[in-house]
Structure 1
C-alpha cells in the first residue's frame, strides 16, 4: 500500500450554514421555539475538501463564493483546513447559504440557497490526469458533466442531492457515493460499475452493477450533528481507495471517519490523519 495519495480536487458547493438546534424537527406549518442558532462554514463541496485536507490529502477547491463578508469567511475556513483556494471564484452574487434545523438526535432538515454556487464556471480550470476529482450535485448537473469531460483521470461523484443522471456521466464515474435513500431514488445506479452506499448506523457497502462486493459495519457514537458526516465519509473513502486499500478496509476507514464527524457539532470537523483510521481498522479488516 502506498503511503501517499494523488492530489484531490473537489468541484462543488461552498455555503454558510445557519443551524438551528432544536429538541425536534418541526412538522409542516409548525413553529418550534427554544432553538439555538449557530453559523459555520459548510456546503458539500467545501466540507469534503476540508475533510480531505485534514485527513492528509493535497487538496484544492474549485467553487464560487460571493464578494461579501461570508465569502471571505468561507475562504478563510478552507485555508485553515489546508485547502488550496486559488480556483475559488469570487462573484457578485451572495455566498450560498444553507438553512439547517438539527434535532437532539442529530437528524436534520436542510434548505439550500445556492447564491454564487449557481454561477460556478470551469473556464480556465485545468485538471491533471494523476489527480482525483470529486464532485457533488449542489452546483448543478451541467458543471459536473463538464468536469467529467475535462478530467481524464480518476473521477468520483457523490450523487447528492439525488436526481436523474445521464448515462454519459455514470459511465464516466470510477466511483459513485450515495446514501441509502439516494441509492433508492436513482435506479440507474444499478448499472454503475462501482457504487458505495451508506446506511447510517448499519454501516456501508460497495456494489458492482448492483452486486454487493464488500461491506463494513458502523461504529457506535454519540450523535451531535449528521450534516458533515457523509461528506467526511466521501473524502475518507476516496483517499483510502486511492491509497490502495481493498474495498472492505476502505469502507471501514470511511465509517470510522464518518463516526468521528457525526460526534462533532461542526460541518467541517477536525479529523486525524488518514493513517490513524487505517491503523484503527486494520485488525478488524484483517479478521474479515
Structure 2
C-alpha cells in the first residue's frame, strides 16, 4: 500500500466539470480525505449521473482484514476508506470501489450509492483511492468539480473534463458575451440566490428542463446553464433533485408513453398521462 497523503487545497479561480466515467480500478493505494481539500466545492449533482454503484471490483491488499458482514445481505461502508464499500450476499462480503472522485453515501438505508462528495459525511473514513491515470489535465479526479489555474481555451471557460481521446468541440464552452444570460433549449438561469434544504446558499442550483422530463440544468454560480440528463427510462424529479422511475413523478409519469391501459392515443398522451385536446 502506498503511503497516504493529504489532498492539496486548490486555488479557486475557474471551474471544470468532470462527469462520471466508468473507470474501474483494482489498486488499493489510498489518499487521505480532507474537508479542506479540493472536493469542498463539489457541485450538488444529487447523484443524478453518478448514482449507480459500480460492481465487480474486488480489492486485495496487505494489512486489510476481511470484512465481517453485520447482516446476511446488504451494502455497508468500509470503516477507513470513504470510497470503498462491501456488498454482503448470504453472509459473504465482496469489496466494491466507487469510481474515482465519488464517495460512498450510506446516509439513507437501502439507498446506498456512490455520489459526488457534496454533502457526504465521511466521518472517520479518512482515506480515498489514488487519482486515476489518463484523465484530462484540468481534472484532479476522474469525476468532480475542480478549480484550475490556467485554462488555455479562452478567457472565460467552463469546461467538461473528458479523457483526451474523447475531446470534441462540445466538450468546451466559452462565454461569447461575458455577463449575458445564456439560453439553452428555452431555459435561462434565474440568476438569483437559491437556498438549499440545509438553509445554505447553493452555488450551483439545479432546475428541471422546461419541456423534457428526462433532462435538467445545473446553473454554475447561478448563471451559467449546463444540460444534463437522466438515464433513458427515468425522469428528473424536481422536488428531490434525483432521477426516478416515471411512476414516481406524477407530472412525468407518461413521459415515455401512456401505456396500453390508457384511453389516450400515442399522439394525445401528455407527460402527466392526461390526454391532449384535439
Please state which band the TM-score falls in when normalised by the shorter chain: under 0.3
Structure 1 or 2: more helix by fraction:
1
Q: TM-score, normalised by structure 1?
A: 0.26
Max radius of gyration: which structure? 2
Q: TM-score, normalised by structure 2?
A: 0.27
